[in-house]
Structure 1
Amino acid sequence: MTETTTTWQEWQDTWDRQQEWYMPDREERFRVMLDTVEAVAGLEPVVLDLACGTGTITDRLLKRFPGARSTGVDLDPALLTIARGHFAGDDRVELVTADLTDPSWTDALPHRSYDAVVTATALHWLDTEPLRALYGRVHGVLRDGGVFLNADHMTDASTPRLNAAAEAFHAARRERERAAGALDWPGWWTKLAADPVLAEPARRRFAILGDPRSPDGAHGADSPTTTQWHLDALREQGFAEARQVWCSPSDALVAALR
């Protein structure tokens, strides 16, 4: 393996800490996600990790289910470089570069159908109509009875005062942790871009997807924000059942059954 100034595992760890700065209950969300995968698909599922990033979900999937297989799909050259380094030599994992807004992205997949499709903190990048179309394509790659699980920034619009109070509470927590040295999203990317091995994948990432160190938001201009929108859209795209299976004040995990 090419030497880096930071090991692949260290990059996984710093990614986790950065994400936990925003979502301190992130691991509980993953546990519920994998519980649902096991409930629907058993102990040796074939899983599609959508917008996989560094392979966060795949890593937890394989530790819990050693007989599972995972296909990770992403467009980000920097995050995929970390994923490829981390899973090098593991034939249970295949990593694919694809743009999820391209209608033909499913052509690049190594399997015709999957037991489960999972994704976390990623699809808020997409605007309403591209996301709706993506849900239809996800439906198409699931086997009958397969499950789709999306954990992302979603809120219950019926409780605005509770939502505002929770956001103020967590904003104060994040500021305390930042003062103690925690890395936020721009800070993590600044560190990555300074790594001699990852600097070139980071440059390509910035050219394709924008510079995450800029003040521009990560959400699409027309990104859906409520859990109900996601449930309605999933049913509209052909899923037989869709429900929320976990939530925090700012995030939710929705499950949809084909």
Structure 2
Amino acid sequence: MTAYLNDPEIWQESWDRQQEAFMPDREHRFAAMLDAVAAVTEGRPPRLLDLAGGTGAISLRTLGRFPGAQVTVLDQDPVLLTIAESSLRGRATIVDADLGDEGWRAKLPQGGDQVGDQGSAEDGGFDAVLTATALHWLPAERVSALYAEIREVLRPGGIFANADHMPEEGLPILSSKLHEHGRIKREARYASGASTSWPDWWARVAADEQLAAKAVERARIYPAADHSQEWLPPAAWHVEALRAAGYSEAGVIWRGGTDAAVAALR
């Protein structure tokens, strides 16, 4: 029996506030991706994979917008998955898998194994795979391979979208200024107490009675030396990698400063 957190909605709120200090337009990127999902499903509740889904932020918004959606959350972080499972409480399938391992697809639910499965109008693949602010932890060669692997779990005509830090390569000076402007605003939020910083948020997790053991488990999975290097190519790199992976089309569907969301159709 799953041991749910007592107050998962509070942990969700604190995670959202912490993330929004980095990305004030976080909800805009989510909305743009879900608009694209709505377009390709044409009103049918989607079968959606929330890839590297963390606390299930995309899944919660998907279920709020599309009642009847079949949602799978895949991540490896034991703390974030605990929050996700406690928040979703049976409304989504939770999968613990490492995207650095090409075998991650074998852990996905098959057809009727998905929570809330009502059948699909297509051939059993996902209508959409969405991910946000996660794949920059992976090296270039792994992201390229992952894009091809994601294509294989989509139905024909299904959509993949990735929102992340993707500077505009034609604006290097402006991008640098935008980055610094964001840093100053973020530090001001921390100083005022309006938001919790990344290290402070994790310190609170480690001090929490219900999450402390998960934090210890997380430290074993993500040693600091292995989980500290971000790789941030421009959106154009992602678009070219998606085309090379065999998608029928790929491009940018949203941009906010130095962040963007790219999408591709199988």
* TM bucket normalised to smaller: over 0.9
- Tell me, in whole angstroms, the C-alpha distance in 2 between the residues paired with 1:219 and 1:29: 23
Structure 1 residue matching 2:89: 3-state secondary structure? coil
Deviation at 1:224, TM superposition (A): 4.3
- The answer for unaligned runs of 5 or more in structure 1 is none
Deviations 1:123-148 (A, max 9, x none): 00100001111001001000100000
The one of 190, 193, 199 aligned to 2:212: 199
Is the partner of 1:104 in helix, strand or coil? helix
- Cα displacement (A) at 1:89: 3.3
User: Identity across aligned pairs (percent)?
Assistant: 46
Q: Corresponding residue for 1:66?
A: 67
Aligned to 1:37: 37
TM alignment of 1:163-182, pairs within 5 A: 163-181=175-193, 182=195
Name the counterpart of 2:255.
247
TM-score (norm 1): 0.92
Change (3 A) 1:143 1:60: same
**Aligned equivalent of 2:54:** 53
Shift of 1:42: 3.0
SS in 1 for 2:246: coil
Report the secondary structure of 1:149's partner residue.
strand
What is the aligned counterpart of 1:138 among 150, 157, 160? 150
TM-score by length of 2: 0.90
Q: Give the number of equivalent residue pairs.
A: 250
Q: Is the 8 A contact 1:128 1:224 kept in 2?
A: no
**What CA distance in whole angstroms lies between the structure 1 residues aligned with 2:151 and 2:208?**
39
Deviation at 1:14, TM superposition (A): 0.3
Report if aligned partners of 2:37, 2:159 keep a CA contact under 8 Å in 1.
yes
Q: Aligned-pair RMSD on alpha carbons?
A: 1.7
**Residue identity in the other structure for 1:7:** D
Task: For residue 53 of structure 1, give the secondary structure of its aligned residue in structure 2.
Answer: coil
2:33 corresponds to 1:23 = no
Q: Which residue of 2 aligns with 1:235?
A: 243
- Contact kept, 8 Å, 1:47 with 1:71, in 2: the verdict is yes
Paired residues of 1:127 and 1:224 also in contact (CA < 8 A): no
1:3–1:61 Cα change, 3 Å: closer
The separation in 1 between residues aligned to 2:191 and 2:15, in whole angstroms, is 18
Measured against aligned partners, the alpha-carbon deviations of 1:162-199 in whole angstroms (never above 9, x if no partner) come to 11221121111111111111211111111111111101
